[in-house]
Structure 1
Amino acid sequence: MKAILTLCLIFLASLLHAEALPDPQGDVILSVSGDIAVTNGEGVARFDRAMLEALAQRTTTTMTPWYETSRAFSGPLGQALLEAVGAQGQTVRIFALNDYSADVPVEDFQSHPVILATHADGQPLSIRDKGPLFLIYPFDEAPELFNEVYFGRSVWQIARIEVLD
């Protein structure tokens, strides 16, 4: 009986450990808080560039209102980020470095391959060029998204995300 209890405790501990995020080794460029189940700090999931690059990636080539030509944006899928932190809410509030924020329904990440672009045309996005993270919708693939509603959700210079109920 004692051996079975010990095995159960080891199994439970391994499950809890599997869900933990590693500590960032580089500069933190994104913090996620709110209604999340997986953290690497007190109530927060902190990500450096390498951690974001370890998530499922996508390249979206699209026109946007902010550039004169189509650009190839690449970065982690928003859905992969939400899964990595165990997001439980229905909405995320995305904050830029200047504290601009927009509320984005979680459904957007489930219905479309929305990315947190870290690169444009193969070059890292600098703060001057809307980085380090820029929420990009697949406007060319889903032309119905090319409107003011989704432009307002396309936050650039993303610094943090709060998952809301």
Structure 2
Amino acid sequence: MFRWVACCAFFLLQTVPALAIPLEAPQGPVLLTVTGAVPVTNAPEGAVFDLHMLEAIGTTTFTTATIWTEGPQRFTGVSLHDLVHALQVTEGTLRAVAINEYSAEIPIEDAVPEGPIIAWARNGSLMSVRDKGPLWIVYPFDEHPEFRSEIIFARSIWQLSRIVIEP
């Protein structure tokens, strides 16, 4: 009997989606706001993140050259994959919006483990607004030559302020 109950419980845990766990409230300045179809929230408009909260999701660092910088640069940030996973976003389009309202649509399929990050540091220093910060979506162009295209370059938004999840 115990085995039967254990098997049923295991099956149910595998088939029932994880319950949304609320995010903590930011303690520092909000760097990123995520709105739209966001299952996990911590504010009326969606999910808001300070630097500490983004770091807590996970930190990824890679070195790559970009068309906007000279030579290889070391970027540190949260992977887009880890961010959408933490927010339990599984479908739709991510509309990334910069401080100046420039925006680009990023398909959820770009949010892969070896894909882009939302960088907050370049070469070990936090990025200021004057230095394309405080957040910049950066793809690992050197590791994946398929990212070197006009379409991907257009998705590499600097001065990122918000992401809208569109179904």
TM range (shorter): 0.7 to 0.9
Preserved CA contact (<8 Å) 2:79 2:113: no
In the alignment, the residues of structure 1 paired with residue 113 and residue 26 of structure 2 have an alpha-carbon distance, to the nearest angstrom, of: 29
Preserved CA contact (<8 Å) 1:26 1:48: yes
Alignment of 1:62-81 (within 5 A): 62-81=64-83
Q: Does 1:26 align with 2:32?
A: no
Shift of 1:111: 6.3
- Whichever residue aligns with residue 60 of structure 2, its letter is R
2:110 aligns with 108
Shift of 1:106: 0.7
Q: Which runs of 4+ in 1 moved over 4 A?
A: none
Preserved CA contact (<8 Å) 1:36 1:88: no
Preserved CA contact (<8 Å) 2:82 2:113: no
Unmatched segments (≥5 aa) in structure 1: 1-14
Deviations 1:66-108 (A, max 9, x none): 0011100010111111112222432100000000000000101
2:50 aligns with 48
Paired-residue identity, %: 43
- Whichever residue aligns with residue 134 of structure 2, its letter is P
| TM-score between both structures, scaled by the size of structure 2 | 0.85
1:126 aligns with 128
Unmatched segments (≥5 aa) in structure 2: 1-17
- Whichever residue aligns with residue 157 of structure 2, its letter is V
Preserved CA contact (<8 Å) 1:137 1:154: yes
In the alignment, the residues of structure 2 paired with residue 88 and residue 111 of structure 1 have an alpha-carbon distance, to the nearest angstrom, of: 14
Preserved CA contact (<8 Å) 1:32 1:162: yes
Alignment of 1:73-92 (within 5 A): 73-92=75-94
2:39 aligns with 37
| TM-score between both structures, scaled by the size of structure 1 | 0.86
